[in-house]
Amino acid sequence: MARSTPDHALPPTVDACCQGHSQHRHDPSPDHSHDHSHGHEHPHAHAAPAGAPPVAAPPGTRASGFRIDAMDCPTEETLIRGKLAGMDGVAALDFNLMQRVLTVHHTLASTAPVIEAIASLGMKAEPLSDDGAAAVAEPPKPWWPLALAGAAAVAAEVAEWFALGTPYLPAALALATVLIAGLGVYRKGWIALRNGNLNINALMSIAVTGAMLIGQWPEAAMVMALFALAERIEAASLDRARNAVRGLMAMTPEQATVLQPDGGWQAVAARTVPVGATVRLRPGERVALDGRVTRGQSALDQAPITGESVPLDKGPGDPLYAGSINQSGELEYTVTAPADDSTLARIIHAVEAAQGSRAPTQRFVDQFARIYTPAVFAIAVAVAVVPPLAMGGDWLAWIYKALVLLVIACPCALVISTPVTIVSGLAAAARRGILVKGGVYLEQGHRLTWLALDKTGTLTHGKPAQTDMALLAEDVPQARAIAASLAARSDHPVSRAVATAAQADGVAALDVRDFEAVPGQGVRGTVGGVAYSLGNHRMIHELGACSPALEARLEAIERQGKTIVLLAALPGDGHSARALALFGVADTVRESSRQAIAQLHALGVRTLMLSGDNSHTAAAIGQAVGIDEARGNQLPQDKADALASLAGQAHARGGKVGMVGDGINDAPALARADIGFAMGAAGTDTAIETADVALMDDDLRKIPTFVRLSRRTASILRQNIALALGIKAVFLALTVMGMGTMWMAVFADMGASLLVVFNGLRLTRRG
């Protein structure tokens, strides 16, 4: 990801192999773990079967993934959980209803018992292959039986209305409707009842059977036909939500034009192209695999990855992302990742995994649903029995009311409202180049009140240039060469500026030995048998080598918003430490940073910059971008302490705190934040693995976009819960007052489900 390293000048540098890439990166701070997880669980996207949301597996178990096409909503999840939870050898279950995937963590020698148990529930479990694909899904069901059942139900109503062949003709037409549209419902209902579960199929079966037993034939027929129709529409709507994320994968072509050993070019399946192969990309084609340009110049549209609609110029050495569109010139590039590990594939895996993590609202809804159905069922039994026994009411009339209540008793609309909304929000964020690692972060974003930001590579371009250079000791003419040689061993942007300027001026590099990093200060090394230190203002004070005259000189440079880099000879052999050379380095502020800060302020989010640079530089950069508060001289632990203090204030008012940083070097601060944001343009794989929210380019304006999307998501969640509960409450009242009918109850139940699904899908719209 973008190197927004801690801002102390010349941080320590060690070589670390960046996960998922063949090239090496430098981790500027060995004290901060590469696998930082922000204090939350961020399992690797491939820890569980592909396509399944990975979870923290119990020790000693293995994970097996299954695609279950019949697992459409929480009713099936409850059945499966009840069947498998107590099975010997099964340690944990993880459900992804939106992708119809079940992950079983187990110690079984074979998964056959799991498949058989699911089959006993009337569902077929297809084991996922290594690439996440299951067996070919069943073809879509034809619509003509549903149309026939609907016609029979309408005919039953007409026959009853005009007294045509009553009661035999309405009864026959009703039975025909139930046989055509309801056998599957009865089968599922019986399985549910046999397993002690009152799901919608069980409740509907009881209600329709009861209606037929009391002679309400047309009502039973219409209820079953409407229920079947609503189920089909709901399934189609949920498929649209499921495909919101998967549609991204369609952006990668199935074939790539690969250079052959004989020098020719051949189109081959992208999935078979190995890392290191050379691929040709013509104008207008989509990039099939992640790679790095080796020849040619062109502009590419990277919107599927970064959300940035403006094409970016690409040339030799620049990265390419699978799914990007080549606008003009022809390119050749070397493949850097296989097809199933491309940046786009990893985004999709991460978003699918995020679907499995329940947001706070979803957990509340799930708990509420466990109470709601039994409570309404008990009310229905009381309605059927108490009035006739206690008040002499008509048995058939009150039984009918009880049957209507049974139809309303299923909380499907309420339960499905949250995952559909969250998945739609995750998909909408991904299309904007914002990768959110879980519904909890998408939901918390609307409560963000403070945002802390790293400086280098975050607010600034992270590519500073040397602006000042002065030798402080005439007896060490090689001071600049020594400083450049030490700086060349670090990959921090400030040190790179010193090394690059020396190289441009033809300064020869010297041999460095005993190189080591000093966290928060700089680096040390031995050149020509003498030990030197190259670092920041703090370093020269720690060495006791800063005279009043030098201090005044340093402050004058720092007040210009520049970062100071000093070369000092370390004490030894009877002499004390002394400063040998100073360098001034300046970074440039991103224009997008100013706009992002302004947008955050407009949203009511306050901002704080935490920089390892001196306070003068921090103040200058903070003022340039409009930051509310800028703090300099911040060590990694200082940043974490600042976040802890902010979090305490924000939580007391019901708010949340975010942190934007590297994801590696800012690990303590990111861990303390409620939401950790990582800049992700360079090193996207690390951003995906470590961040709560990864910005797939270096545009901070995506954070205000995230906050706005989070607020829309929270609003739609509230709307959906209000719709689901409000519609149920209205029809419960109508039923108790004798104004509700069974077909109205079906509309109340399935209609509410459709409303919340369509409402949630509004998040997938662009804008």
Average pLDDT over residues 317-342: 89
Q: Which CATH number fits domain 466-585: 3.40.190.290, 2.40.50.100, 3.40.50.300, 3.40.1110.10?
A: 3.40.1110.10
| pLDDT score of 343 | 77
Angle at 486 between CA 483 and CA 490, to 5 degrees: 125
- Residue 675: beta bridge partners? 658
At 715-758, the pLDDT tens digits run: 998 998 888 888 888 887 887 787 877 777 777 777 787 788 88
Using CB atoms within 10 Å of the CB of residue 391, give its burial: 0 to 12 exposed, 13 to 18 middle, 19+ buried.
exposed
Are the beta carbons of 99 and 51 closer than 8 angstroms? yes
Which are the contacts of 652, defined by CB distance < 8 A and separation ≥ 6? none
Q: Identify the DSSP state of 99.
A: G
At 71-104, the pLDDT tens digits run: 866 678 888 988 898 899 999 888 877 678 888 9
Are the beta carbons of 418 and 97 closer than 8 angstroms? no
Domain with CATH 3.30.70.100 in the chain: 42-139
Q: What DSSP assignment string belongs to 382-450?
A: HHHHHHHHHH---HHHHHHHHHHHHHHT--HHHHHHHHHHHHHHHHHHHHTTEEES-HHHHHHGGGEEE
pTM: 0.64
Q: What are the Cα distances from residue 164, in Å, to 159, 202, 212, 215, 250?
A: 5, 32, 18, 15, 55
Average pLDDT over residues 601-608: 93
Q: How many Å apart are CA 530 and CA 485, to the nearest integer?
A: 13
**Confidence grade of residue 683 (pLDDT, cut at 50, 70, 90):** very low
Regarding beta strands 656-661 and 675-679, do their DSSP bridges make them parallel or antiparallel, or are they unpaired?
A: parallel
CATH code for the domain defined by 434-460+589-696: 3.40.50.1000
| pLDDT score of 354 | 60
Count of CB atoms within 10 A of residue 82's CB? 14
At 337-347, the pLDDT tens digits run: 998 888 777 77
Among candidates 216, 186, 212, which has minimal Cα distance to 201? 186
Domain with CATH 3.40.1110.10 in the chain: 466-585
Asked if residue 357 has pLDDT above 50, the reply is: yes
Among candidates 641, 596, 656, which has minimal Cα distance to 445? 656
| pLDDT score of 745 | 76
Are the beta carbons of 614 and 632 closer than 8 angstroms? yes
| pLDDT score of 48 | 37
| pLDDT score of 27 | 34
**Confidence grade of residue 483 (pLDDT, cut at 50, 70, 90):** very high
Higher pLDDT, 462 or 277: 277
Assess whether 454 carries a catalytic annotation.
yes
Angle between helices 702-736 and 752-761 (to 10 degrees): 170
Q: How many Å apart are CA 422 and CA 438, to the nearest integer?
A: 9
Q: Which of 36-45, 118-127, 147-156 has the lowest mean pLDDT?
A: 36-45
Among candidates 654, 646, 605, 651, which has minimal Cα distance to 626? 605
Q: How many Å apart are CA 305 and CA 325, to the nearest integer?
A: 11
**Residue 563, both tokens:** 């970062």
Q: Which of 65-79, 173-187, 227-241, 522-536 has the lowest mean pLDDT?
A: 227-241
Higher pLDDT, 476 or 667: 476
At 197-218, the pLDDT tens digits run: 777 788 788 888 888 888 888 8
CATH code for the domain defined by 42-139: 3.30.70.100
Q: Which of 454, 587, 613, 697 is catalytic?
A: 454
Tokens 């205000």, residue located: 704
Using CB atoms within 10 Å of the CB of residue 132, give its burial: 0 to 12 exposed, 13 to 18 middle, 19+ buried.
buried
Q: Is 305 strand, coil or helix? A: helix
Average pLDDT over residues 530-547: 88
Domain with CATH 2.70.150.10 in the chain: 253-341
Type of residue numbered 356: G
Q: What are the Cα distances from residue 689, in Å, to 1, 171, 343, 456, 576?
A: 11, 61, 11, 21, 46
Higher pLDDT, 720 or 351: 720
Tokens 């403006």, residue located: 310
| pLDDT score of 98 | 66
Are the beta carbons of 173 and 221 closer than 8 angstroms? yes
Q: How many Å apart are CA 400 and CA 745, to the nearest integer?
A: 12
**Confidence grade of residue 662 (pLDDT, cut at 50, 70, 90):** low
Among candidates 258, 273, 431, 256, which has minimal Cα distance to 326? 256
Arch. (CATH architecture) of 253-341 = Distorted Sandwich (2.70)
Regarding beta strands 319-320 and 291-295, do their DSSP bridges make them parallel or antiparallel, or are they unpaired?
A: antiparallel
Q: Is 6 strand, coil or helix? A: coil
Q: What DSSP assignment string belongs to 637-681?
A: HHHHHHHHHHHHHHHHTT-EEEEEE-SSTTHHHHHHSSEEEEE-S
Among candidates 67, 66, 109, 103, which has minimal Cα distance to 89? 109
At 441-450, the pLDDT tens digits run: 888 899 999 9
What SS3 string covers 152-218?
HHHHHHHHHHCCCCCCHHHHHHHHHHHHHHCHHHHHHHHHHHHCCCCCHHHHHHHHHHHHHHCCCHH
At 96-130, the pLDDT tens digits run: 776 788 889 999 998 999 999 999 988 889 998 65
**Confidence grade of residue 689 (pLDDT, cut at 50, 70, 90):** low
Specify the length of the chain in residues.
Answer: 767
